[in-house]
Chains A and B, each alone.
Chain A
């Protein structure tokens, strides 16, 4: 199975994000993932309007987190979205990113347990399960059931990067959204997902393993690479030390980028991004280069390739290039 998703960060007016979603659906994408950060437009408002102007493509948060939004509310949101777009809703949830949580004084405590319990709560709420839920992080009483039924199954994807979260994704997720773009990172990630799958007595076919990449395509390779710089700065700022060291990125440099971003010193943060970082943390280039890289990534065991931010120097053109030159080559096989 080879699926294709696209990520949108709702930084622009809603109608632009919605237009790009219409475009993505018409070109044959399978999934839309909309990011959830408090400093951009609300994820569910964005998804609702996208649902109104599309017919087939699946859509959902990619990813929300259980620190800023209680999972009962996430369950409510995706269940309500399912009424607008029956059978088309997916739900990505992860621990979030520390940089953003720090901005509002929220600590990422016990991420594994918190995400695990959040997924439990979301599923229980959607299924309108009776009885209480007594987790260590989340509790719901028997009175917390929805007042409405959810007719369709909503697949829950776990956003993961580190080994333990990847294993969790394998053990409980309908899918895994892996924050990685390099084949070595993805191959290793798939191994951890497989470990989780096997420990839980599941099969690899039970789970959709998505490479949630930073992506940029243009007929001009230089423009494609340049477009990735701001996103790569955030990736470097949020990556764990072991990933940075694996790709020869100095921890000190990453820390400085993190500090610059937190204090809105964009020029300094983006100016520190180098070619090695772009190669390590993105899939970018001209169509032939991107095609080669995507093929290599599918060989690592992923089943969905997500074209994540920035998409390219000009979004409409980049979506068009991907939809006309890359997607058909995989559909023909």
Chain B
């Protein structure tokens, strides 16, 4: 299942909360240099335009967290009922 598919399963009410959770994981991850620059710029564009909690924004955040701290993705998604 793709990240896009997973994000679709998150209710609108919880998307902001998920974006906050992913943001913290991304900003605190030890292997930040593993995030490709192109993805980082997409993330910054989303942040600049207040789109982090949108479907596309959440998908990009998931991809970035996967790059920086792969183990965290499953943990966070699990908190939101997505296995």
Chain A residues with CB under 8 Å of chain B are 12-16, 18-19, 22-23, 49, 53-54, 314-316
Min Cβ gap B77→A in Å is 21
Chain B residues with CB under 8 Å of chain A are 23-24, 27-28, 32-33, 35, 37, 40-41, 43-45, 47-48
With A15-B35, A316-B27 known, 4 other A-B pairs at CB within 8 A are A15-B40, A15-B43, A19-B44, A22-B47
Contact of B24 with A15 in the complex, beta carbons under 8 Å: no
Find the A residue at minimum CB distance from B47: A22
CA distance A239 to B24 in the complex (A): 35
CA distance A316 to B33 in the complex (A): 18
Contact of A316 with B24 in the complex, beta carbons under 8 Å: yes
Main secondary structure on B side of the interface with A: helix
CA distance A12 to B35 in the complex (A): 12
Residue from B24, B32, B48 whose CB has the most chain A CB atoms within 10 Å: B48
* Complex A-B: 30 CB contacts under 8 Å: A12-B32, A13-B33, A13-B35, A13-B40, A14-B40, A15-B35, A15-B37, A15-B40, A15-B41, A15-B43, A15-B44, A16-B27, A16-B32, A18-B44, A19-B27, A19-B43, A19-B44, A22-B44, A22-B47, A22-B48, A49-B44, A53-B44, A53-B47, A53-B48, A54-B48, A314-B24, A315-B27, A316-B23, A316-B24, A316-B27
CA distance A19 to B50 in the complex (A): 12
